Amino acid sequence: MVNVSYDLHIHSCLSPCGDNNMTPANIAGMAAVKGLDAVALTDHNTARNCAPFMAYCEAYGIIGIPGLEINTAEEVHAVCLFRSLEAALDFDAYVYEHLLKVPNNERIFGAQILMNDDEEETGREPNLLINATDIAFDDVWGLVRERDGVMVPAHIDKSANSLLGQLGFIPDGSLFKTVEVKDLKKLHELKRNHPYVNECQIISDSDAHYLDAVHDNSLTLLCEHKTIDGVIDALLRGPLYEN
């Protein structure tokens, strides 16, 4: 087993709320500066900047994981990570079909910039990506597992756009074994009020929209090996030891 330092929830300039300096190359470079082993790109409802991101991560010797942050019909955010770019883009296409299509107003929400491997802008997504889809939270786990990925409920301690903030409870029959907590000081209260959390592995990510917000290497995930598969398998597995 090996400890892998991570930040698995980062937004690029394709997310309307992401700073325009959050290019795939800059994110990979900042992750290298911070000493991270593994980073994931998780733009709102899209994985279309993941190809250049993964290329730059490889150049820096970092594990680059393709993914997206889905916004469900209930306005619940969940991080969805995949073993391959092809699987991530397949899910991207599915999610886009189910996205509420409203034109993006860049003056209000910000630009949604698509990039290539040469760090050049190739276009802008016209429809607002932060809108909800018509995909129910209960369906996300199965849809992601069909593509051999993993779903992690995002920032469950937040009052808005989280599983607990939107629903107020963890649904019966849930299968996820890892949850993301933004403020780890709230973990004891979360475990007391929601016993299911005691059965889960806890991760904490930056949800970075600006380069300086990317996490350092102080948090680690215990993996069988330092690869994309190792990280995905660890998130699927859940805690090795009692929390």
**pLDDT (tens digit, 9 = 90+) per residue, 110-163?**
999 999 999 999 999 999 999 999 999 999 999 999 999 999 999 999 999 999
DSSP string for 22-72: --HHHHHHHHHHTT-SEEEEEEET--TTHHHHHHHHHHHT-EEEEEEEEE-
- Nearest residue to 171 (alpha-carbon basis) of 137, 143, 200: 137
**pLDDT (tens digit, 9 = 90+) per residue, 206-229?**
999 999 999 999 999 999 999 999
pLDDT surpasses 90 at 86: yes
**pLDDT (tens digit, 9 = 90+) per residue, 35-74?**
999 999 999 999 999 999 999 999 999 999 999 999 999 9
Calculate mean pLDDT across residues 223-241.
Answer: 93
Rounded CA-CA distance 237/200 in Å is 9
pLDDT surpasses 80 at 242: no
Question: What is the per-residue pLDDT for 134?
Answer: 98
Rounded CA-CA distance 71/162 in Å is 10
Question: What is the per-residue pLDDT for 152?
Answer: 98
